[in-house]
Structure 1
Amino acid sequence: MVWTEILVPVLGGDNDAALLAIAKALAEPFNAAINVVYASPSPISLFSWAGEGGYGPTDVAVAAMQESADRGQARCRDLLASLDYPKTKFEAVTADDWIGLRTVSRLADVVIWERSVSRGHGFLANAFQQILLDERRPAIIADKPTKADGTIAIAWDGGREASRALRRAVPLLRGATKVVILSVPHAMAHPCDGSRAVDYLADQGIKADAVVLHTQGDAGQAILGGVRDLGADILVAGAFGHPRLQRFIFGGTTQLLLDSGSPAALFLSH
């Protein structure tokens, strides 16, 4: 099992170069293709609010917005051409309902996102949620290229989301120098010390250690403390294991991880 395609949604903005550098660092160990998808809104859709007021889009406004989208796409193509990576693809999709981007994501092994998007900010925030939660495509959230051969921590509670994240991260884990399973017993609905995860990874040819975090505080904070103590480069975690309404009202461990500002990259799977 290897990764063959890394997907990078881009907007033609200032952060696109960093996203491509992250994708290259992840793709190189697998010789995976980097698929860059430029997502732009339809100019007509941005004027949908004007229907009842009688102010429809003018030809000049639509043309100006299309010209801006074309410039953004050209910039992304130039960035990809300068990436110096042999296996790349480029696609452009309109993003009125995210169907185009969602369709492209379905055969990607992992999708690269910037942190602001994962925190609910910016044009791609809804796309992030739909692709992670509805399409169930794993996400990498990072500020800079990560060390694929460094230390990887895994947040483990034995649940469905954590188990899925572990399985999907196996290609990444195989290249790590050190893999550590982190569990917080007091926060779990049933006994779970990480031993089954260690055994599963051993069957995959991956040596992992299990660390039990003893704390009476928040599980998310305990996991973040464990990541800091390890100096982990990547944290693998299941995403949003509770119903969306409950997450909206109470927040959750995933949101804490997204908002933490931890230097470790996040690998999330729902």
Structure 2
Amino acid sequence: MKSILIPVEESELLSSVLDTALLVARRFGSHMEGLHVRPDFAGIIAATGMGAPYVVEDFRKEDWDSIQRSRQEFEQFLNRNDIPLDGGAGTGQPWATFRIEAPPGDDFIGQHARLFDLTILGQPSRGATPPRMSTLEAALFDGGRPVLVAPPTAPRRLGHTVMIAWNASTETARAVAFARTFLEQAERVFVLSVEGGLVAGPSAEEAARYLTRSGVPAQAMHVPQNRGVGETILEHAKALEVDLLIKGAYTQSRLRQMIFGGATSHILAMANMPVLLAH
């Protein structure tokens, strides 16, 4: 986890995102790149028909002001934590850069995320000004790399007690592979499966044996479902004081989860610990 992308959104959850990223960066000596998330003003103008010159100019000014606010907040965060900006490569210590020049809209987030080991974002359904779901989806579905979703309040530690929400899917197998660095440094690893929450594939016991054979001692747990798969996962994660939850994202389609709900949607909305997702 040597390179971390941090899409910087004007959200009340930003401080948790930055503090969570710093926990990872300090653990692995990572480079953190802050990237301002720019709204797609052209799309907004086209959709609303507000194309008058003065409206366009107002959008441009707000865009520039927002970039400057994001950069200032990012730099203040670095200064508070003695993290060097634009310097520090090769030292084995955290360092950072901030990218201003980026196209508007979320497409670039997904494309740019392919160059990083991890993208860290806030929960898109929490707070009065939450991070955008479209930004998370771009990173998750188009980035090809894992996404770490920070909780509303940053944890004091991360990756010491790890739970894998095992449902036997390819998405979960991919998430486990991406999380290997965290798993190898964890003090405790649990592989949790929930009754009624599995697709065809290996059991939690088989997954735990695989991890143990490959140098990551893991304990399997198969538990009855209580109200819902997502609720059950979070209940057990809380009871075990898990500080990193690993999950394959959207084994069901996004549309089905929007209509009927699903474990990923519930965890995204309610988790109080960092969640590493992969699709």
* TM-score bracket for the superposition, by shorter chain length: 0.7 to 0.9
Q: In the alignment, residue 231 of structure 2 is paired with which amino acid?
A: Q
Q: Give TM-score, length-normalised by structure 1.
A: 0.85
Match of 2:267 among 237, 251, 257: 257
Matched residue of 1:90: which SS? strand
The alignment status of 1:240 with 2:250, answered yes or no, reads yes
Matched residue of 1:40: which SS? coil
Deviations along 1:57-103, whole A, 9 cap, x unmatched?
Answer: 35762563245234314413522541323421211244533233222
CA contact (8 A) 2:175 2:278 kept: yes
Matched residue of 2:7: which SS? strand
The alignment status of 1:174 with 2:184, answered yes or no, reads yes
Tell me the residue number matched to 1:113.
Answer: 121
Q: Give TM-score, length-normalised by structure 2.
A: 0.83
Match of 1:65 among 62, 72, 94: 62
Tell me the residue number matched to 2:52.
Answer: 55
Match of 2:38 among 37, 40, 50: 40
Matched residue of 2:4: which SS? strand
**Unpaired runs of at least 5, structure 2:** 84-93
Q: Using a 3 Å threshold, how does the CA distance of structure 1 residues 148 and 18 change in structure 2: closer, same or farther?
A: closer
Q: Using a 3 Å threshold, how does the CA distance of structure 1 residues 236 and 44 change in structure 2: closer, same or farther?
A: closer
Q: In the alignment, residue 117 of structure 2 is paired with which amino acid?
A: D
The alignment status of 1:229 with 2:218, answered yes or no, reads no
Matched residue of 2:54: which SS? coil
Deviations along 1:233-268, whole A, 9 cap, x unmatched?
Answer: 1111110011232222212110011122x3222111
Q: Using a 3 Å threshold, how does the CA distance of structure 1 residues 67 and 168 change in structure 2: closer, same or farther?
A: closer
Match of 1:21 among 16, 19, 22: 19
Match of 2:175 among 154, 165, 168: 165
CA contact (8 A) 2:169 2:201 kept: no
When structure 1 is superposed on structure 2, of 109-118 and 186-195 the one drifting more is 186-195
**Unpaired runs of at least 5, structure 1:** none
Q: Using a 3 Å threshold, how does the CA distance of structure 1 residues 149 and 238 change in structure 2: closer, same or farther?
A: closer
CA contact (8 A) 2:125 2:269 kept: no
CA distance in structure 2 between the partners assigned to 1:151 and 1:213 by the alignment: 18
Match of 1:195 among 202, 205, 228: 205
What is the Cα-based RMSD across aligned positions, in Å? Answer: 2.7
Tell me the residue number matched to 1:5.
Answer: 3
Q: Using a 3 Å threshold, how does the CA distance of structure 1 residues 67 and 226 change in structure 2: closer, same or farther?
A: closer
CA distance in structure 1 between the partners assigned to 2:243 and 2:71 by the alignment: 33
CA distance in structure 1 between the partners assigned to 2:197 and 2:41 by the alignment: 48
CA distance in structure 1 between the partners assigned to 2:61 and 2:53 by the alignment: 15
CA contact (8 A) 2:189 2:217 kept: yes
The alignment status of 1:91 with 2:99, answered yes or no, reads yes
Tell me the residue number matched to 1:126.
Answer: 134
Matched residue of 2:37: which SS? strand
Q: In the alignment, residue 113 of structure 1 is paired with which amino acid?
A: L
CA contact (8 A) 2:4 2:119 kept: yes
Deviations along 1:191-225, whole A, 9 cap, x unmatched?
Answer: 75312211221243111100110346422222122
CA distance in structure 2 between the partners assigned to 1:25 and 1:81 by the alignment: 13
Tell me the residue number matched to 2:166.
Answer: 156
User: Post-superposition, which runs of at least 4 consecutive aligned residues in structure 1 deviate over 6 A?
Assistant: none
CA contact (8 A) 2:175 2:277 kept: yes
Matched residue of 1:116: which SS? coil
Matched residue of 2:209: which SS? helix
The alignment status of 1:103 with 2:111, answered yes or no, reads yes
Q: In the alignment, residue 68 of structure 1 is paired with which amino acid?
A: D
